[in-house]
Copies of this chain bind each other. A is one copy, B any other.
Amino acid sequence: MSQPKKLPSVLSVGEVARRSGVAVSTLHFYETKGLIAAERSRGNQRRYARDVLRRLSIIRVAIDLGFTLVEITELLKPIPPGVTPSAQDVKNMIEGWRHAINQRIEGLALLRDNLDGCIGCGCLSKDDCPLRNPDDSLSSQGAGAVLLTKQTSR
């Protein structure tokens, strides 16, 4: 029998775009930012290793989590483009992500619980809303909205 339909070992930029849902122009852009990398064909066209798809998945998820491209570049440092990382590298990176995610969740839960309080007290028009400027007497320190904001970890 002939070989089972073989997946190509390198991908053109168009294939990567189709499979990842990321526009070609964005792939170019990410490359200039050092987020992804590609070999070149004899004729100077990009040829991506398959791992770029995994990498793009991670990048898009991170963007949705609110990380900037610069932050993502940092987070991905343990896994340089085109390099197959050690299992330990991967574990370390994922632990870092887990931490960031947990912090984000904690901030959101805190905010939600504060809002729950608001529902009970209808306090947006009162003086004791947790979303309210904590105390105008603190105003000289520019406190205010900053308090809650900080807890969301951004």
Using a CB–CB distance below 8 Å, which chain A residues touch chain B?
7, 15, 18-22, 50, 53-54, 56-61, 64-66, 79, 84-85, 87, 90-91, 93-95, 97-98, 101-102, 104-105, 107-109, 111-112, 115-116, 118-119, 122, 124-125, 129, 131-133, 136, 139-140, 142-146, 148-149, 152, 154
Contacts and interface: CB of A to CB of B under 8 A. Distances in A.
A43 B143 CA distance: 29
B152 A58 contact: no
Contacts of A22: 145
Please tell me how many copies of the chain the complex holds: 2
Contact of A98 (B59, B101, B115, B125): B115
B112 A145 contact: no
Contacts of A91: 119, 122
A89 to B, nearest CB: 9
Contacts of A58: 131
A14 to B, nearest CB: 11
A99 to B, nearest CB: 10
28 contacts: A7-B136, A18-B139, A18-B142, A19-B133, A19-B136, A20-B142, A20-B144, A21-B143, A54-B131, A57-B131, A57-B132, A57-B148, A60-B148, A64-B107, A64-B154, A65-B152, A66-B66, A87-B122, A93-B124, A94-B119, A95-B119, A101-B112, A104-B108, A105-B105, A105-B108, A105-B109, A105-B112, A108-B108
